[in-house]
A and B are shown apart, each in its own frame.
Chain A
Amino acid sequence: MKKTFLLMVAGILALGGGVARPATDANIYESPIRPASAKPLDKIVLAKLKSLGIEPVLCSDAVFVRRVYLDVIGTLPTAKEAGDFIRDPDAENKRQALIDRLLERDEFADYWAMKWGDILRIKAEFPVNLWPNAAQAYHRWVRASIAENKPYDKFVREMLTSSGSNFRVGPVNFYRALQNKTPEGTAAAVALTFMGSRAENWPKDRLAGMTVFFSQIGYKPTREWKEEHVFWDPFKADGVNDKNATGAAAPLLAVFPDGTKIDLPPNRDPREVFADWLIERKNPWFARCIANRVWAWLLGRGIVHEPDDIRADNPPSNPELLSYLEKELIASRYDLKHLYRLILNSDAYQYSSVPKPDAKEAEANFGSYAMRRLDAEVLIDAINKISGTTDLYTSPIPEPFTYIPADKPAISIADGSITSPFLTLFGRSARATGMENERDNKPVAAQWLHLLNSSHIQRKIDQGPGLKAIFESGRKPEAIVEDLYLTILSRPPTADEMECVLAYCRFPKPKEPGAGNKTGPTNKPGAGNKPGATNKSAVAAKPVNIPPIRRREAWVDITWALINSTEFLYRH
Chain B
Amino acid sequence: MSENQNSENAKGFSRREALRRGVHGTMGLMLADRLVGDSPAIAAAEPEKTSATVKAKSVIQVFLWGGMSHIDTWDPKPEAGREYMGDLAKAIPTNADGIQLGELFPQLAKQADKFSLIRGMTHRNNGHETAAYLMQTGHAPGERLAYPSVGAVFSLFKSPRYKGLIPPYVVLTRAQGRFSEEGFLGPKYKPFATGGDPNAFRFEVEGIVARGIPDNRQKERRELLGKLNTMGNLMAASPQLATAEEAKNAAYELILGSGKEVFDLSKEKAELRDRYGRHNFGQDCLAARRLVEIGVPYVVINYPGGWDTHSNHFATMRRQCPQLDQGLAALLSDLHDRGLLESTLVWCCGEFGRGPKVDWQPPWNGGRNHYGNVFSVLVAGGGFKGGHVVGSSDAKAEEVKERPVYPVDLLGSIYRLAGIDANARLPHPLGIEARVLPSAAENVKSAGLLTEIM
Contacts and interface: CB of A to CB of B under 8 A. Distances in A.
B188 A444 contact: yes
B210 A458 contact: yes
Nearest to B233: A25
Nearest 6 interchain pairs by C-beta: A449-B207, A566-B232, A448-B251, A567-B231, A126-B129, A443-B244
Interface string A350-366: 00011100010000000
Interface in A14-29: 24-26, 28-29
Given A26-B234, A179-B142, A442-B187, A564 B225 contact: yes
A404 interface: no
Interface of A: 24-26, 28-29, 125-127, 129, 179-180, 185, 198, 200, 353-355, 359, 371, 373, 396-397, 419, 421, 424-425, 427, 430, 432-433, 435, 437, 440, 442-450, 452-456, 458, 494, 497, 500-501, 504, 553, 557-558, 560-562, 564-567, 570, 572
A447 B141 CA distance: 28
Contact of A430 (B146, B175, B178, B217): B146
A25 B211 CA distance: 35
Contacts of A560: 221, 225
B120 to A, nearest CB: 27
Nearest to A494: B230
Interface string B249-288: 0111011000000000000000000000000000000000
A566 B229 contact: yes
Given A29-B231, A125-B129, A449-B206, A427 B187 contact: yes
B228 A501 contact: yes
A433 B144 contact: yes
B179 A421 contact: no
A557 B146 CA distance: 40
B247 interface: yes
23 contacts: A25-B233, A126-B141, A127-B142, A179-B142, A354-B234, A355-B237, A371-B240, A424-B175, A424-B190, A425-B187, A442-B188, A443-B248, A444-B247, A445-B247, A449-B255, A452-B251, A452-B252, A452-B255, A458-B211, A553-B217, A557-B220, A561-B228, A566-B241
A354 B250 CA distance: 26
A565 B142 contact: no
B39 interface: no
A434 B250 CA distance: 32
User: Could you say which interface size class chain B belongs to?
Assistant: 35 or more
A396 B244 CA distance: 31
B192 A446 contact: yes
A397 B178 CA distance: 9
A127 B248 CA distance: 32
Contacts of B251: 445-446, 448-449, 452-453
Contact of B231 (A198, A424, A566): A566
Given A453-B218, A456-B206, A560-B221, 4 more contacts: A447-B187, A455-B195, A497-B230, A566-B229
A421 B177 contact: yes
A565 B210 contact: no
Interface string B184-228: 001110101101000000001011101101000110110011011
Nearest to B232: A566
Contact of B187 (A185, A354, A444): A444
Interface in B56-101: none
A558 B193 CA distance: 28
Contacts of A453: 207-208, 210, 213, 218, 251, 255
B381 interface: no
A193 to B, nearest CB: 14
